[in-house]
Amino acid sequence: MTPGAEASEPRAGEHVPVTPDWTCGSCGDDWPCATKRHHLLHEYEVDRASLSVYLGSCLAAATHDLRAAPVTALQDRFIGWVPRGPRTF
C-alpha cells in the first residue's frame, strides 16, 4: 500500500456483495453485477472450476440469506451466467 498512489483501475476487491441483501457494494445492482462478473471471468480465466466453487459458496450463503427468493432464480443469478464448456467462443 503506497499512500497517494491510488490505482484508478478497477480492483477485484471492489463490487463486493453486501449481505444479507446481496446487492453490489459499488453499484447497487444485484450481486454479482455485470462489472463483477466481468472481473470474475478474468480472475478465474484459467481456473473456471474454482470460479464455480466460489460462486457455489456464494449461492449457498445467499440462499440462506434470501429465503424469500426462488432457488432457481438465485442459481440463475449466481451461476447461470458463467459460460459453460471449453473456453472457445
Phi, psi of 19 (to 5 degrees): -95, 155
Looking at the DSSP bridge assignments, the partners of residue 23 are: 18, 30
Q: Does 27 contact Zn ion by CB under 5 A?
A: yes
Q: Does 26 contact Zn ion by CB under 5 A?
A: yes
Q: Does 77 contact Zn ion by CB under 5 A?
A: no
Could you tell me the smallest distance in angstroms from the CB atom of residue 34 to Zn ion?
Answer: 7
CA 32/CA 2 separation, integer angstroms: 29
3-state secondary structure of 30: strand
Check if the beta carbon of residue 63 is closer than 8 Å to that of residue 73. no
The window from 34-42, 46-54, 58-66, 68-76 that contacts Zn ion (CB under 5 A) reads 34-42
State which residue, 71 or 81, has the beta carbon closest to Zn ion: 81
Q: Does 39 contact Zn ion by CB under 5 A?
A: no
The binding site for Zn ion (CB under 5 A) comprises: 15, 24, 26-27, 33, 35
